[in-house]
Copies of this chain bind each other. A is one copy, B any other.
Amino acid sequence: MAETLTMTAPLADRITVANTEALRRINTASPVLTGIRPAKEAIPELRGRVLLHAGPPVPIHRLCGPMRGAIVGALCYEGWAETAADAEALLDQGGIRLQSNHDAHAVGPMAGIISPSMPLFEVKETAHGGMAYAPINEGIGAVLRFGANDNAVITRLRWMQGVLAPALDAAVKRLGGLPLAPLMARALTMGDEMHQRNVAATSLFYRAIAPALAERNLRAEALSGILRFLADTDQFFLNLAMVASKAIMDAAHGIPHSTVVTAMSRNGVAFGIRVSGLGDRWFVAPSPMPAGLYFPGHTADDANPDMGDSAIVETLGLGGFAMAAAPAVTGLVGLPSAAEAVGITRSMNEITIGRSERFKIPALDFDGVPTGIDMRKVVRLEIAPIINTGIAHKRAGVGQIGAGVVHAPLEVFQQALTAFGERHA
């Protein structure tokens, strides 16, 4: 790429070339689910008493309620603490090291806690090289990602580790790996935007994996338990959409002079982005409060600031960016009409470098989703990326209390642009 320009080419031309390369990589990256592995085998960072979490790095004393609850659960799950009180003490006394998922090629929804024993989806990006990881979706109700950490949560995590993960791993390997992009492209033609709505993608994944699961001669009870868990979890694919998006956006990361945003993420306190041409530095601002609809009995007073690595799907051009593909989501996130959903997708076209060549929206006559956020356009037009999001209760373990949209804070794009300017001054 560098060869195509002389050293004296103006910066704008270099950026154009770099962003064209970023778009090419986004359009050609091929994430393939290759198996399910214990986190400690997949991620070298997970040696010793280390946990990974969603969003940019966060000091222990600033952890939000749900993330703290999830950490307590993970410490009990790992057997590093016997009780919640022991776990809190261990955490506060500095006995645990925290690290950002994104820094370990991983992503997780909401609190996004990954501990060494957890099984992770392993995704190989076969076009440009690279690996990405995500935990398996736990279903709904009281779940670790919202900070629940009681016995039922830990028991489910152990079942996922001992029963679900080995079966899924064997089935995926029997399939010779499962390419995720074609499945996602198809789900986008079935009303999923793959953040708030994954029912089509989950169903397609289910159909792909069930015959291979059945070939394994599991006991009927174990097999039907696995199939029932998958069938009951409409958002099961969210974690796969996230890890596929992470693998794709990592392929576009690290291109000198590229102004494309390669990660947007939140830890419940701070909202951070990374930019392709600016390495692994996070640009952060306070995490915004989602605007949306609350489930009965809850109000904005109960809400935690936005949280989770799930905005990686918007970074790719799905989720809020693909709102026009998912008119059934509009009511859920508080939009007044399907026309509004189309308007949001069109407005995201203003801040992206192109359209996806494979993720297409039938209702827009198969226009590709807006893909590759250009931080320059965000700053110049003051149009913030829109993220579809679940709203978590600020108290650990209560769970999801609503859904809505969040506008990424413009401040982080301004910071990144300033840093870019300084680097190339």
Q: In the complex the two chains form, is B231's CB within 8 Å of A210's CB?
A: yes
Instruction: Judge if A204 is at the interface, Cβ distance under 8 Å.
Output: yes
Residues A231-276 near B (CB distance < 8 A): 231
Contacts of A349 in B (CB 8 A): none
Interface secondary structure of A, over-half rule: helix
* Assembled-state Cα–Cα distance A328/B187 (Å): 11
The proximity string for A residues 198-213 relative to B, scoring 1 for CB distances below 8 Å and 0 otherwise, is 0110011011101110
Q: Which residue of B lies closest to A231 (CB)?
A: B207
Instruction: Judge if A216 is at the interface, Cβ distance under 8 Å.
Output: yes
Q: In the complex the two chains form, is A204's CB within 8 Å of B203's CB?
A: yes
Contacts of A223 in B (CB 8 A): 214
Q: What's the minimum C-beta distance from A223 to chain B, rounded to whole angstroms?
A: 4
Identify which of A76-84, A149-157, A294-302, A357-365 touches chain B.
Answer: A357-365
Instruction: Judge if A224 is at the interface, Cβ distance under 8 Å.
Output: yes
* Assembled-state Cα–Cα distance A231/B261 (Å): 37
Contacts of A190 in B (CB 8 A): 190-192, 199-200, 328
Q: Which residue of B lies closest to A200 (CB)?
A: B190
Beyond A203-B206, A362-B327, A365-B337, whether A220 also contacts B227 by CB under 8 A is: no
Q: In the complex the two chains form, is B208's CB within 8 Å of A231's CB?
A: yes
Instruction: Judge if A422 is at the interface, Cβ distance under 8 Å.
Output: no
Instruction: Judge if A217 is at the interface, Cβ distance under 8 Å.
Output: yes
Instruction: Judge if A338 is at the interface, Cβ distance under 8 Å.
Output: yes
The proximity string for A residues 353-373 relative to B, scoring 1 for CB distances below 8 Å and 0 otherwise, is 000000000111110000000
Instruction: Judge if A330 is at the interface, Cβ distance under 8 Å.
Output: yes
Q: Which residue of B lies closest to A233 (CB)?
A: B207
Instruction: Judge if A380 is at the interface, Cβ distance under 8 Å.
Output: no
* Assembled-state Cα–Cα distance A220/B210 (Å): 12
Instruction: Judge if A228 is at the interface, Cβ distance under 8 Å.
Output: yes
Contacts of A331 in B (CB 8 A): 366
Q: What's the minimum C-beta distance from A332 to chain B, rounded to whole angstroms?
A: 11
Q: In the complex the two chains form, is B203's CB within 8 Å of A362's CB?
A: no
Contacts of A328 in B (CB 8 A): 189-190, 362
Q: In the complex the two chains form, is A220's CB within 8 Å of B231's CB?
A: no
Contacts of A3 in B (CB 8 A): none
* Assembled-state Cα–Cα distance A212/B210 (Å): 12
* Assembled-state Cα–Cα distance A366/B335 (Å): 13
Q: Which of A190, A206, A221 has the most CB of B within 10 A?
A: A190
Contacts of A337 in B (CB 8 A): 365
Q: In the complex the two chains form, is B203's CB within 8 Å of A228's CB?
A: no
Beyond A206-B203, A363-B363, whether A220 also contacts B220 by CB under 8 A is: no
Contacts of A212 in B (CB 8 A): 224
Q: What's the minimum C-beta distance from A307 to chain B, rounded to whole angstroms?
A: 28
Contacts of A363 in B (CB 8 A): 327, 338, 363
Contacts of A221 in B (CB 8 A): 215
* Assembled-state Cα–Cα distance A303/B250 (Å): 50
* Assembled-state Cα–Cα distance A190/B192 (Å): 8
Question: Could you show 28 A-B contacts with beta carbons less than 8 Å apart?
Answer: A189-B328, A190-B191, A190-B199, A191-B191, A191-B200, A200-B200, A203-B204, A203-B206, A203-B207, A206-B206, A206-B207, A207-B231, A208-B231, A210-B227, A210-B231, A211-B228, A212-B224, A214-B223, A214-B227, A215-B220, A215-B221, A217-B220, A326-B362, A330-B362, A338-B362, A338-B363, A338-B364, A338-B365
Closest 3 CB pairs between A and B? A203-B203, A327-B362, A214-B224
